[in-house]
Amino acid sequence: MMAVAQPKIEKETDDCSLLPLVHDIIKCMDKDSQDVHQELAKLKTKIQEAREQISNMPGIESSPQEQQQQLATLREQVSTKNQLLQKYKGLCMFDVPKAS
Amino acid sequence: MRRSLRELNMATAAEKSTKQRLLSVLDDLEVLSRELIEMLALSRGQKLPTPGEDTQVLELLVQRDKEFQELMGVARQQGKVHHEMQLLEKEVEKRDSDIQQLQKQLKEAEHILATAVYQAKEKLKSIDKARKGSISSEEIIKYAHRISASNAVCAPLNWVPGDPRRPYPTDLEMRSGMLGHMANLPTNGVNGHLPGDALAAGRLPDILTPHYPWQSSDVSVGMLPPHHGNDFGLEPPGHNKENEDDVEAMSTDSSSSSSDSD
């Protein structure tokens, strides 16, 4: 499972790397190829797409530490409310006298 | 000094959100890649760049790219945590709703119980009050019989239309009583009497003589009607035994019940 997950994570991180595109541009410049402009456009597009992706990603408005604090608070809230409900539902305040 | 600045930078970087850091690193990547490409382009021309500068830029570019990739990994992780937080928030909302519902039911139960307790206390007060002022049922029944005996609640069995008897003192009876005689006194000119009225003399015609159950059988004509003052007392002086018999007879008469309603 980990072996399958790891390549996927590596692929995801490689997808957001800009170095391959920069490398392609440098190669084209060395060869004096006409594809330089095309590669430059690709780099520009990739940077723009990265910006849009970052804007749409959920949960990154706070730092990881702040997010963990919020998560702990929410878990505590759920636990407290569950306990409260269990307490009230299981509470019997009246002793019903036996019918004589 | 250097350590405190370094700590300040770290603290500042930690306070920044992941989004801000990502955008900042991406801007740096854009600038560095553009600079590198420009330097390489210039190196092909006549002007030579400063030696080592392109290496420095390249190293920075690689470093920034690595940082960008790490931050993207953190951002993805934060996305998963955010999803879990959304689920927890929904659960919190559901629990809040359950608690509110339970609170509403408890309030309702409290109101019902408070009302029941109040009513029970009022009933207990009434019971206690009744016990303090209790009266023997025998006396109440005797009292009821005496009221019934005067035919005030039900006509006599032999009463027919035209019978002058009434369940209240009639005009003739009033005039033939003490009050009527008081009116005859010279000093009392307020309650006069009708001239030539035989009743004023204290005499009643035979047919108009009322016959009350409590009257004894040897009452002669013309005698004044008996004084009614003590008839409704529980223990009247000179209580006639015949009255008791009539009362007992009345008590057996179902028609004398006060429950009759017209």
Please indicate if any CB of chain B lies within 8 Å of the CB of A41.
no
**Number of neighbouring beta carbons within 10 Å of residue B24:** 16
The DSSP output letter for B203 is -
The tokens for B233 are 């007392």
Residue B30 Cα, gap to closest chain A Cα (Å): 7
Burial tier of A50 (Cβ tally within 10 Å: 0-12, 13-18, 19+): buried
Q: How confident is the model at residue B170 (pLDDT cuts 50, 70, 90)?
A: confident
The answer to whether the beta carbons of residues B141 and B251 sit under 8 Å apart is yes
Q: What angle do CA A54, A57, A59 make, to 5 degrees?
A: 125
**Number of neighbouring beta carbons within 10 Å of residue B145:** 18
**C-alpha–C-alpha distance, residues B84 and B77, integer Å:** 11
Under an 8 A CB cutoff, do B85 and A67 touch?
yes
Please indicate if any CB of chain B lies within 8 Å of the CB of A47.
yes
Closest CA to B27 of B39, B38, B15, B19: B19
Residue B87, classed as helix, strand or coil, is helix
In this model, does residue B89 exceed pLDDT 50?
A: yes
ipTM value, please give it: 0.79
**C-alpha–C-alpha distance, residues A32 and A18, integer Å:** 21
C-alpha count within 13 angstroms, C-beta hemisphere, residue B56: 5
In this model, does residue B63 exceed pLDDT 60?
A: yes
Closest CA to A22 of B64, B84, B113: B64
Q: What is the pLDDT of residues B134-164, one digit of tens each?
A: 888 999 999 898 888 878 788 888 999 998 8
- CB environment B76-109: b (16+ within 10 A), e (fewer): bebeebbeebeebeebbeebeebeeeeeeeeeee
Task: Concatenate the DSSP letters of all residues of B107-120 into one string.
Answer: HHHHHHHHHHHHHH
Name the residue with higher pLDDT: A52 or B242.
A52
- Tokens 């420095």 belong to B56
Per the confidence metrics, is the pTM higher than 0.95?
no
The answer to whether the beta carbons of residues B26 and A55 sit under 8 Å apart is no
The tokens for B245 are 């018999």
Name the residue with higher pLDDT: B116 or B200.
B116
Q: What is the mean pLDDT of the segment spanning B58-65?
A: 94
- Contact list in A for residue B32 (CB cut-off 8 A) is none
Residue A13, classed as helix, strand or coil, is helix
* Angle, helices A19-31/B18-44, rounded to nearest 10 degrees: 10
Please indicate if any CB of chain B lies within 8 Å of the CB of A72.
no
3-state SS, chain A, equals: CHHHHHHHHHHHHHHCCCHHHHHHHHHHHHHCCCCHHHHHHHHHHHHHHHHHHHHHCCCCCCCHHHHHHHHHHHHHHHHHHHHHHHHHHCCCCCCCCCCC
In this model, does residue B243 exceed pLDDT 80?
A: no
Residue B120 Cα, gap to closest chain A Cα (Å): 17
Residue type, B222: G
Residue in B with minimal Cα distance to A64: B78
The tokens for B231 are 């008839």
Q: What is the pLDDT of residues A13-52, one digit of tens each?
A: 557 899 999 999 999 988 888 888 999 999 999 999 999 9
Mutation choice for A interface testing from B82, B90, B103 by most A CBs within 10 A: B82
Phi, psi at B195, each rounded to 5°: -65, 145
The DSSP output letter for A60 is -
**C-alpha–C-alpha distance, residues A32 and B211, integer Å:** 149
- Tokens 């539902």 belong to A89
The answer to whether the beta carbons of residues A83 and A75 sit under 8 Å apart is no
- Contact list in A for residue B91 (CB cut-off 8 A) is 78
